Amino acid sequence: MLKTLKNAWGIEELRKKILFTLFIILVYRLGNAVPVPYVNTAMLESYFNTVNNTILGLWNTMSGGSFSMATIFALSIQPYINASIIIQLLTIAIPALERLQKEGGEEGRKKIASITRYTTVGIGLIMGFAYYMLIKNGVNGQSMLTSDGVGIWPAIVIIMTFMAGSALIMWMGEQVTEFGVGNGISIILFASIIARFPSSIGTMITNVSSGSLAWWALALVIIGALAIIVLIVIVNDAERRIPVQYSKRVVGRKLYGGQSTHLPMKVNMSGVMPIIFAQSIASIPGTICAFVPGWQDSWLMENVFNTDTVPYAIIYFLLIIAFSYFYATIQFDPVEIANNLKKNGGFIPGFRAGKPTSEYIRKVLNKITLMGALYLSVVAVVPILIGCFTTATSLSGISLGGTSIIIVVGVAIETVRAVEAQMLMRNYKGFLD
């Protein structure tokens, strides 16, 4: 990976893309340090220390700690992710949107992207209002607003700042995708999670020094994290290759076809998106409980939607599997693949062209997707189960560890591959040399 980045730095165009990406990350991190006005940030941080293993703690991790400080980027990419989920589900449910996506071409994709942007702003407004109500109601009726933060004008300023921050993050992510390296939203999420790692490591070292955490427990956590990283790298490169044979055709005096190739199908076809989407959906009920006065300490919040509970782990597990199949279906259409093979004179040995081929590809796709979904689910859920049965406060937040590692490593691998693809495209000499 380091060699790839070194080689990419030597190409002027790629160097500009990398510098632009780093600049956007810098702006994002600076925005995470700017609090909104009229909020008692010290009281808010103290409150978030008590909800580390709840949905609010998860959001705080995904925002790089800005959620607990009520900064202008406190909502992070959550509104955009929720908007993307809603639009993609509506694309399946509404025929007009489905036609726009499949048959609209570049113009159709632009319209869907525009609809997603407007939906993001709307969700950001709703979430900003909910976050303001949480700050206003506070803990046990004690408001976390400053003395001059009471009234309609401070409320409008706070809510609109949260909404504008989420819209700006969405715009910065799009700029990175277009002018930078890798997927912009994934890069921002990557930067948010990485920003929390130094403080987490420092906390663990402090706990070992004070004796609240045994050194062997810390060693097990590190070994487990390294094992997860190795597993993620292996699975990301794993693929199922379906053999494809092309029939021979005589055109004039030339013979075409007759070669053998394969159809690659990645085990983890959808990457980290099922994890991100599952987190967003699983957080919705808990978020409602957390933002409604009197519901923070409810039975549902304590026993179902807390990230250190078995019911939450089960819900999270099922959602990851569901979104894995959802994304695999969107990205890989067996009928379209079979039709393309038939048009080009290709076939899978032992299967007739057309419907038998598509059914076989769909069968293989379902098996591969199941393996990838189980891999994502196990890696994400096992740390949660460890947190469920661990009473040591020094291991607080371990339930978020597996998910964070999956996202960080997955985004890093995808970004490096994007850089390698651009390097290959620029270094390819072609047939004219």
What pLDDT was estimated at residue 42?
83
**d(C-alpha 413, C-alpha 233), whole Å:** 8
Predicted confidence pLDDT, tens digits, the chain (433 residues): 567 667 767 777 888 888 999 999 999 989 888 889 888 888 888 877 766 655 676 677 777 778 888 889 988 888 888 888 788 878 877 888 878 777 767 788 888 888 999 999 999 999 888 888 888 877 666 788 887 877 889 899 999 999 999 999 999 999 998 888 888 888 888 888 888 777 777 777 787 787 776 777 778 777 877 888 888 888 877 888 888 887 766 566 665 556 777 888 888 887 777 877 787 777 777 667 666 666 666 666 666 766 677 888 888 889 899 988 888 887 788 888 888 888 877 788 888 878 888 888 889 888 898 888 888 888 888 777 776 665 544 454 444 566 677 778 878 888 888 887 777 766 654 444 4
Residue with tokens 């202008």: 72
Q: What angle do CA 360, 365, 367 make, to 5 degrees?
A: 100
Contact 298, 318 (CB under 8 A): no
Say which residues have a Cβ less than 8 Å from residue 4's Cβ, sequence separation at least 6. 416, 419, 420, 423
CA torsion sign, 157 to 162 to 166 to 169?
Answer: positive
CA atoms of 21 and 35, how far apart (whole Å): 24
Domain ranges of the chain: 2-427
3-state secondary structure the chain: CHHHHHHHHCCHHHHHHHHHHHHHHHHHHHHCCCECCCECHHHHHHHHCCCCCCHHHHHHHHCCCCHHHCECCCCCCHHHHHHHHHHHHHHHHCHHHHHHHHHCHHHHHHHHHHHHHHHHHHHHHHHHHHHHHHHHHCECCECCECCCCCCHHHHHHHHHHHHHHHHHHHHHHHHHHHHCCCCHHHHHHHHHHHHHHHHHHHHHHHHHHHCCCCHHHHHHHHHHHHHHHHHHHHHHHCEEEEEEEECCEEECCEEECCCEEEEEEECCCCCCHHHHHHHHHHHHHHHHHHHCCCCCCCHHHHHCCCCCCHHHHHHHHHHHHHHHHHHHHHHCCHHHHHHHHHHCCEECCCCCCCHHHHHHHHHHHHHHHHHHHHHHHHHHHHHHHHHHCCCCHHHCCHHHHHHHHHHHHHHHHHHHHHHHHHHHHHHCCCCCC
Tokens encoding 364: 């293989």
As beta bridge partners, residue 251 has 254
Q: Which amino acid is at 80?
A: Y
Q: Output the CA torsion sign for 346, 347, 348, 349.
A: negative
Q: Which of 161, 198, 211 minimizes the C-alpha distance to 393?
A: 211
Q: Is 71 left (phi over 0), alpha (psi -120 to 50) or beta?
A: beta
Give me the architecture of the 2-427 domain, per CATH: Orthogonal Bundle (1.10)
Q: Is the pTM of this model over 0.85?
A: no
Beta carbons of 317 and 377 less than 8 angstroms apart? yes
CA pseudo-torsion sign 90, 93, 97, 99: positive
